[in-house]
Amino acid sequence: MTIEHLSSNKSFGGWHKRYSHPSEVLNCNMQFAIYLPPQASEGQAVPVVYWLSGLTCTDENFMQKAGAHRIAAELGIAIVAPDTSPRGDQVANDDGYDLGQGAGFYVNATEAPWNRHYRMYDYVLTELPALIENLFPVSNKRSLAGHSMGGHGALVLALRNPDRYQSVSAFSPISRPTDCPWGEKAFSAYLGDDRSHWEAYDASLLMSGATAFVPALVDQGSADDFLAEQLKPEALVSAAKESGYPLHLNMRDGYDHSYYFIASFIEDHLRFHAAHLV
């Protein structure tokens, strides 16, 4: 396994680092970022929050815009931000911002041409944590957080693998991807026309049938342009009622879909994770 160090920046006493590595699961080179809090340099094995970004993002958006380092440094939590899809000239793509590179939707594609590389579900679930836990001074305590497409990914990964994660949180998640334009476009391409194959990647459907519970926190802005057509958080609320799921969902008056919203509440999310990562 060759991993290439790309850059390091000291930040709030810890380190923001970027790396490139060959991914077997995705069959291409991938970049990721990690924030290591000061405690990691002091010999402590720190827990990890995996941050899954939304459409069009790379590993950089969250690290540059969310303002998360200060609170991660205080709490002694590492944050790992993967890219949002496989990348490269040899990787299938689409002209739309909501399909192909930058839009992996955290699924394992079954349909050509996508199935050669688009396996972000397996990458985030197994390959990336194995690499992180092998190379960095971290424990095997993990939580998931994400935004929009990444909020969908975080919820789905946690709901399907409750034994692997201590907690999950999401900003503005695509809550009902089997019933919104973004999800229907991506799932048709990656998973094919048989909608029964989509259900394993729909957080609301998974939550309504859940029997094992990973504590979940969701924040949603009321002035989000994507709220009614794409995000549908009310589907999560009714799913949680059905199964008795420990979901805490806050509607935040006047906030939109941007990183200004994430920066405003990331502290709450990291404190929520810290309480479950002890």
Ligand X SMILES: N[C@@H](CCC(=O)N[C@@H](CS)C(=O)NCC(=O)O)C(=O)O
Catalytic annotation, residues: 148, 224, 257
CB of 176 to ligand X, least distance (A): 15
Phi-psi region of 92 (alpha: psi -120 to 50; beta: other; left: phi over 0): beta
Beta-strand relationship, 78-82 and 28-36? antiparallel
Q: Which two tokens stand for residue 10?
A: 């000291």
Q: What is the DSSP string of 60-121?
A: HHHHHHS--HHHHHHHT-EEEEE-SS--STTS---SSTTSBTTB-TT-B--STTGGGT-BHH
Stretches 50-58, 108-116, 126-134, 211-219: which one binds ligand X (CB under 6 A)?
50-58
CB of 64 to ligand X, least distance (A): 8
Instruction: Please identify which residue in 105, 118, 121, 259 interacts with ligand X, judged by CB under 6 A.
Output: 259
Closest CA to 90 of 110, 108, 116, 112: 116
Closest CA to 103 of 125, 81, 85, 121: 85
CB of 62 to ligand X, least distance (A): 8
Instruction: Please identify which residue in 40, 46, 55, 66 interacts with ligand X, judged by CB under 6 A.
Output: 55
CB of 199 to ligand X, least distance (A): 22
Q: Does 56 bind ligand X (CB under 6 A)?
A: yes
Stretches 128-136, 145-153, 184-192, 207-215: which one binds ligand X (CB under 6 A)?
145-153
Instruction: Please identify which residue in 14, 47, 54, 82 interacts with ligand X, judged by CB under 6 A.
Output: 54
Stretches 87-95, 185-193, 235-243, 251-259: which one binds ligand X (CB under 6 A)?
251-259
Of 99 and 131, CB closest to ligand X: 99
Helices and strands in the chain: count of H runs, count of E runs: 10, 9
Instruction: Please identify which residue in 3, 4, 22, 97 interacts with ligand X, judged by CB under 6 A.
Output: 97
Measured CA distances, 180 to 91, 160, 169, 198, 240 (Å): 26, 21, 21, 12, 19
Interface with ligand X (CB under 6 A): 54-57, 61, 65, 97, 147-149, 257-259
